[in-house]
Amino acid sequence: MIDAELFRGHRLQAWAAVASMIALIANAGDLSANEVAKPATATAVVPAAAPASTTSTETEKPAAAAVAEPAPPPTPAKELFGAMTSPAQLEARALGFYSKGCLAGARALPVDGPAWQAMRLSRNRNWGHPGLVALVEKFAVEARDFDGWPGMLVGDLSQPRGGPMLTGHNSHQIGLDADIWFTPMPDRRLSNKEREDLSAVSMLGPDKLSVDDKRWSPAHVQIIKRAATYQEVERVLVHPAIKKALCEASASTTDRAWLGKVRPIFGHHYHFHIRMSCPPGSAGCVAQAPPPTDDGCGKELTDWFALLTRPPAPPPAKPVPPKPPLTLDQLPAECRTVLEVGIAKPVEPAPQRSLAPASAKSKSVAKSAEKTLNQK
């Protein structure tokens, strides 16, 4: 009788252990190794493991909140546009401002023409709005035919899709700017290496405040005047010393309206800079404020020479941090389309699906508990 009661006690305790394990599986979905009840030995009765006490002195700590890593800085727009090697096959449009925009539907200026040669071919900056390219071609031919200029050496226009450049210019972003060297084209075709290595010649004299009479000529005056008289040209940028030479060369003439378009600016003594107005069909083009209506040979030029002769300012006590580069989000919204059109996007691989059921581990623990019961 006593043996029967003991046997029945063993069976009840084992069933209680199994029930406790199944309850834990249902609540937690898994069991760790130290939570599996040990089988009873032949010399002792092992009671079922008691559930964890809710009055434990050990306080459960909440999981620490995940710290989000800072987002990486956006890629500078000059790196994105500088990597483009072909134009955006869209309707030709200058988008944004000369120093903050991009170019759709660009056309390449041929590297060789009847009256021009493009320089620095490795930069791939002989692209422009079709209106600008047509203007440069017309300008070169007319300067040869009517002004006796041997031909143009053409510097930078724009990148295939415009936008900020990795080096050099702040402007030239919307395909409406072109640099023309003061050095005339030689009477032969330059090799690609010569176009990379040949240096432009400065028109400034030793004092850096006047032109060099050995290099400056009436033909230079005439080609700048021709560029400024084109209706589509908004302004021509030259060094203040060159502006002064133009004013002096035109002192006895009454035709001085074109001089107002010739604007003095730092640099620009190795080349002059032609800037077109916003062309028809470019609704997103932002125009520059028009130049003053006078010839610019008076007080404005005097003020520029005051700047050129002023002693240099002392360096700041604390270095001024560089201005952060433009990002794509700071350009006109259409520039994202200009950048992405025609570029194949990588296909993301499909996520891998697991073939094992989520409760496989729980079923394995339950099967182990059943085997323990059968051994009782």
pLDDT at position 106: 98
Between 35-44, 62-71, 157-166, 239-248, the lowest mean confidence (pLDDT) is in 35-44
Work out the percent of the chain whose per-residue pLDDT is above 90: 66
Nearest to 279 by CA among 14, 95, 53: 95
Report yes or no on 54 lying in a domain: no
Report yes or no on 59 lying in a domain: no
Report yes or no on 5 lying in a domain: no
- Whether the pLDDT of residue 232 is over 50: the answer is yes
Helix (H) or strand (E) holding 300: helix 299-309
Report yes or no on 163 lying in a domain: yes
Quote the mean pLDDT of the chain.
83
Q: How many domains does the chain have?
A: 1
Confidence of residue 40 (pLDDT cuts 50, 70, 90): very low
Report yes or no on 53 lying in a domain: no
The domain containing residue 179 runs over which residues? Answer: 11-47+74-375
Helix (H) or strand (E) holding 140: helix 130-147
pLDDT at position 349: 55
Report yes or no on 321 lying in a domain: yes
Read off the pLDDT of residues 157-209 as tens digits, 9 standing for 90 and up. Answer: 999 999 999 998 899 999 999 999 999 999 999 999 999 999 999 999 999 99
pLDDT at position 158: 98
Report yes or no on 281 lying in a domain: yes
pLDDT at position 346: 53
Report yes or no on 242 lying in a domain: yes
- Does residue 266 contact residue 242 with C-beta atoms inside 8 Å? no
235 φ/ψ angles, rounded to the nearest 5 degrees: -165, 160
User: Looking at residue 179, which CATH number applies to its domain?
Assistant: 3.30.1380.10
pLDDT at position 316: 87
Q: Three-state DSSP class for 368?
A: helix
Confidence of residue 44 (pLDDT cuts 50, 70, 90): very low
